[in-house]
Structure 1
Amino acid sequence: MGGLDPMGWLVLFVAGLAIMLSLRFPVAIALLVVSAIGAVILYGFGPGIEMTVVSMVSGLATFTLTAIPMFILMGELFFRSGLAFDAIAAVERGLKRLPGRLAFISVGMGALLGVLSGSVMASTAMLGGTLVPEMARRGYSPRLAVGSVLGSGGLAMILPPSTVVIVWGATAGVPVGPLLIAGILPGIAMAIGYAIVVAVWAYFFGGAERPSRRAGASLRPSAPGGPAPAGEASGAPGGALLTRAKTTAAALATASSPAEKQGSLVSLFGMLTIIVGVLLLILFGIATPTEAAAVAVGATVLLLVVFRRLTRAVLVEAFKHTLLATGMIFLIIASAAIYGRVLAGSGSVTAFVEFITGLTGNPTLLLVIMLVIVIILGLFLESIAIVLLTIPLFMPIVAVAGFDPIWFGIIMIVAIQIGTVTPPFGMSLFVIRQYAPTSMTMGDIYKSALPFIASDLLVIAILIAVPGIVTLLPSLM
């Protein structure tokens, strides 16, 4: 083993990780085991174990990472209390005269869930569990219903306060505040692209609900006896949240009094005020992302007190699932810290950079190669795992090519999001399978995702051609 060349180390490491993932080990555990074994082989048992422990501790000893659990808690409080669903109902009522409004709402909800949860899988599950059955009931094309949810769920990865963006910045050594703000305009561009796809689809190909003559029509829960939401049976965090979504939707379906409608509008205004306020704190340099996250949690708690939604059950569920999500993310980060040390120590990083830059000296082609790599990885791995696996390999190339690290990070994160919905193994495809009509095959689901993938690819091309879209807001900070 000692005579293995650097590229051989990289191949061996990737092969070991692939074997453990194929055996259904969680990404964090697979990364930890393979990295620790690599450290022991490279440095010897004693020094290898010592390096493993020190790397895990140092990987988490970053002040910026404390923003992650607080932003997750903010979203959990909104969801568990039901305020998020009140706001969604207000939007649905406001668009009741718009053809195909539920598909447009899925885009808006994707943006909202992105801000509140920062998780693509959670957003896709939430949208799928609440909107797909309702669109089926109202006669929408199954492909339009599933496709709009698949595309919109990915907005969670790019819009602030995205967990993926925070992890990227903290790990790559890029300022997290500017990186979060840089995602706003690209996220809006992606949402506009999805809305255009929905509008063209509904206008030229039909398959969308026409304006309802029932003015009080609102979201309803999926029909009893349907497929169980992913994670519900196993006790995963998403299951209880989807149950709450359906319960809230059932209540909102009958909420047609002026007082109830006014309450939904106030919920929407309160949420938007907190979200915009947090972003402005970061944009104008008044607070760091961690301080802004703390303000967001405090404001959310105050809002729940005003609405009399801050119950013991809400707090217990919110804290419970915040701890579960944070623990998973932090374990992946700690494991990836060892991975980065082993790659650097074995010389694999240098060898990889020399190999990639040896293929071409054209910066644009180098960028395309890296984009293809992350899209392929997105077919098999969770987004944070992809970030932590690629950063040690990509950032030296970024330095060689002279890319702006903030611009590069945003483009890579959009590409990772594309991977989650790309056939045949994109992870979001298998999440949405749980909620798609039984008449749809996996082939139909693949086809429903294609227009939204094309929209994202167009957005990436625009961001490459006009870097100012990404760098404009950070430059104002």
Structure 2
Amino acid sequence: MDWLYPFSLMVGLILFFMGVGLPVAFAFFVTNIIALFLFFGGSVGVSQMISNFSAAVGTFALAPLPLFLIMGSLFFRSGLGDGVMHALDLCIGSLRARLSYVVLAAGAVFSALSGSSLANTGMMGSLMVPEMLNRGYKPKMAFGPILGAGSLAVIIPPSSLGVLLGSLAQIDVGALLIAGALPGLLLACMFAGLIFVQTLIDPEAAPQYDMAPVPLLAKIRAVSVNVVPMGVIIFLVVGTIILGIATPTESAALGCLGVVLLLFAYRRFSFRLVWDSLDDAMKVTGMTFLIISASTTFSQVFAFSGASNGFINYLLSMNPGPYLFLFLMVVTVLILGAFMDQVSMMLITLPLFIPIAHTMHFDPVWFGLILLLSYEVGFTTPPFGLLLFVMLGVAPQGTTLKTVAFSALPFIACTLLLIVLIVAFPQIALFLPNLFN
């Protein structure tokens, strides 16, 4: 049990520093420095950590991350999403819970244009929550679909979290992004089925009201003007990867170019918009790269101290079997998701999970997608799910965390059901990567 001391020390320090409010990157840096002096030769180890920084963030697999962030920021800041919502609203018509379905459809489209769950939820929440509540929707039918639709960006490509996971876990980023397309659409359909069941059980949760008939020509025009051009952007980002025309980095650059051309076409281009979008991407990318630099050293010291090998060998000696291993890993992520953000969870768990996955001979893309779905649940897990607080920020004054959290629970259950389906039927995740390999 020699591994238990470094394991307990390093994991305990990380959790302690995060618990007292230290930013994630600095919590890892302080833990690294303490561990380097204890297990890695002190100042020699610190010098090695500094020299590792450029190698940690200089990997080509991380290049799509800032480009996807720029693309999403340009899309949301320009207001292009408003037209998409309007067109979908016209097409869905007077169906009961119409606005819930509009939110869900728009969330799927926006996920393929931004890769950011926080941006999706914030935009749809600010636009749709007041309208839905004014029309008599109960909170569960207003908050729940927006939280569910917002979380789709975790797995529907281009997923910023998927790019980060693929880079850190050394999984083919292109294959991981492609793998999320089919499960993402399946999850959106499951959410639609959930909304339908909720309205059957409680018809008053989303009152039905008549709409003025919209001519078919007007619907076609709205879709042609507002949705079809976004489909071109989705093809530039997702389709080029699937068809093998472009790498994830090249597709991200094509997506940025496509959004800029749309801004010119819709006469919404401005240098101020570009500057603000670059500023958004720079802040997120800078902090992400800082975290990656710290986590790389953490993984190295964790392995050098014998903590990771000792922990893995200890678990293997119990001979629990691959599916029990997988169950325990998912449960661990779900528990951590109640207390920390997705990047923090990823940095703490991957040094432990990836060696175990290799030992169990899990397909890396399949396993990576299961982890992404588990991290997605963490976005809406009370009491600290980030999307819950985004929703509270746009909800009417007096809305409680309990109300928002209970609205999210049925959608969390759908995501957990999808994880079970992917475990039982791996081809849900692997069909597209294998088809276009």
Give the TM bin, normalised by the shorter chain. Answer: over 0.9
3-state SS in 2 of match to 1:434: helix
- The answer as to whether partners of 2:379 and 2:386 remain within 8 angstroms in 1 is yes
Partner residue of 1:318?
Answer: 277
- Pick one of 380, 401, 408 that aligns with 1:449: 408
2:121 corresponds to which residue?
A: 124
1: CA distance, partners of 2:114 / 2:30: 29
Distance in 2, matches of 1:211 and 1:472, equals 41
Partner of 2:54: 57
For the 8 Å contact 1:36–1:338, the answer to whether it is kept is no
Q: 1:15 offset after TM fit, Å?
A: 1.8
Which position in structure 2 is the counterpart of 1:334? 293
Which amino acid letter does the alignment assign opposite residue 193 of structure 1? M
User: Which of 302, 307, 313 is equivalent to 1:343?
Assistant: 302
Aligned counterpart for 1:272 among listed residues 226, 231, 236: 231
Q: Distance in 2 between matches of 1:171 and 1:94?
A: 41
1 CA distance for matches of 2:29 and 2:302? 13
Q: What CA distance in whole angstroms lies between the structure 2 residues aligned with 1:316 and 1:428?
A: 26
Structure 1: gaps of 5 or more residues: 217-255
Change (3 A) 1:35 1:117: farther
Q: How far apart are residue 55 of structure 1 and its match?
A: 2.3
Aligned pairs for 1:92-111 (under 5 A) are: 92-111=89-108
Distance 2:220 2:34 in 1: 59
How much has 1:438 moved relative to structure 2? 4.3
Superposed counterparts of 1:150-299, under 5 Å: 150-206=147-203, 207-214=205-212, 262=221, 265-299=224-258
| CA shift for structure 1 position 259 | 9.2
Query: After the TM superposition, which of the residue ranges 259-268 and 180-189 deviates more from structure 2?
Result: 259-268
Is the 8 Å Cα contact of residues 129 and 435 (structure 1) preserved in structure 2?
Answer: yes
Partner-residue secondary structure (3-state), 1:50: helix
* 1:70 correspondence with 2:67: yes
Aligned match for 2:370, one of 381, 387, 411:
411
8 A Cα contact 1:155 1:187, kept in partner: yes
Distance 2:115 2:195 in 1: 23
AA of the residue aligned to 1:209: P
**Structure 2 vs 1, CA of residues 174 and 204 (structure 1 numbering), >3 Å: closer, same or farther?**
same
Amino acid across the alignment from 1:308? R
Instruction: Give yes or no for contact 1:115–1:160 (8 Å, CA) kept in 2.
Output: yes
CA RMSD of aligned residues (A): 2.2
Change (3 A) 1:476 1:140: same
Distance 1:38 1:215 in 2: 68
How far apart, in 2, do the equivalents of 1:166 and 1:337 lie? 16
Q: CA deviation at 1:435?
A: 3.0
Measured after TM superposition, the shift of residue 261 of structure 1 is: 9.2
Q: Residue 432 and residue 360 in structure 1: after superposition, are their counterparts in 2 closer, same or farther (change >3 A)? A: farther
Q: Tell me by how many angstroms 1:440 deviates.
A: 4.2
Q: CA deviation at 1:129?
A: 1.9
- Residue 7 of structure 2: aligned partner: 10
Contact 1:340/1:392, CA 8 A, preserved across alignment: yes
Matches within 5 A, 1:140-155: 140-155=137-152
Q: Distance in 1 between matches of 2:98 and 2:199?
A: 10
Structure-to-structure mapping, 1:347-362, within 5 angstroms: 347-362=306-321
The residue type paired with residue 290 of structure 2 is L
Match for residue 36 of structure 1?
A: 33
CA distance in 2, matches of 1:436, 1:31: 34
Q: TM-score, normalised by structure 1?
A: 0.86
Question: What corresponds to 1:429 in structure 2?
Answer: 388
Report what 1:232 is aligned to: none
- Are residues 1:79 and 2:38 paired? no
Amino acid at match of 2:347: L
**Superposed displacement of residue 294, structure 1:** 1.1
Matched residues in 1 for 2:384 and 2:280: separation?
27
Does 166-175 or 355-364 show the bigger shift? Answer: 355-364
Q: Does the 8 Å CA contact 1:158/1:184 hold for their aligned counterparts?
A: yes
Q: Distance in 2 between matches of 1:183 and 1:166?
A: 12
Q: SS at the partner of 2:22?
A: coil
**Whole-Å separation in 1 of the counterparts to 2:24 and 2:312:** 25
Tell me how far apart the structure 2 counterparts of residues 390 and 80 of structure 1 sit (CA, whole Å).
34
**Paired AA for residue 307 in structure 2:** S
Counterpart position of 1:469: 428
Which runs of no fewer than 5 residues in structure 2 stay unpaired?
Answer: none
Aligned-pair CA distance for 1:214: 4.8
CA gap of 1:285–1:100, structure 2 versus 1, over 3 A, is same
Using the alignment, how far apart are the partners of 2:272 and 2:420 within structure 1? 46
1:95 partner amino acid: I
Superposed displacement of residue 36, structure 1: 2.8
1:287 shift after superposition = 1.2
Task: Output the CA distance in 1 between the equivalents of 2:315 and 2:129.
Answer: 43
| 1:25 is the counterpart of 2:22 | yes
Q: Deviations over 1:368-404 (max 9, x none)?
A: 0000111112122221222222221111111111111
State, as a whole percentage, how many aligned pairs show the same letter: 37
Give the Cα–Cα distance (whole angstroms) in 1 for the partners of residues 399 and 260 of structure 2.
42
Match of 1:401 in 2: 360
The one-letter amino acid paired with 2:190 is G
Q: How far did residue 195 of structure 1 move?
A: 0.9
**Partner Cα separation in structure 2 for residue 93 and residue 261 of structure 1:** 10
Q: Deviations over 1:293-328 (max 9, x none)?
A: 111112221222222221122111111111112112
| Partner Cα separation in structure 2 for residue 309 and residue 161 of structure 1 | 24
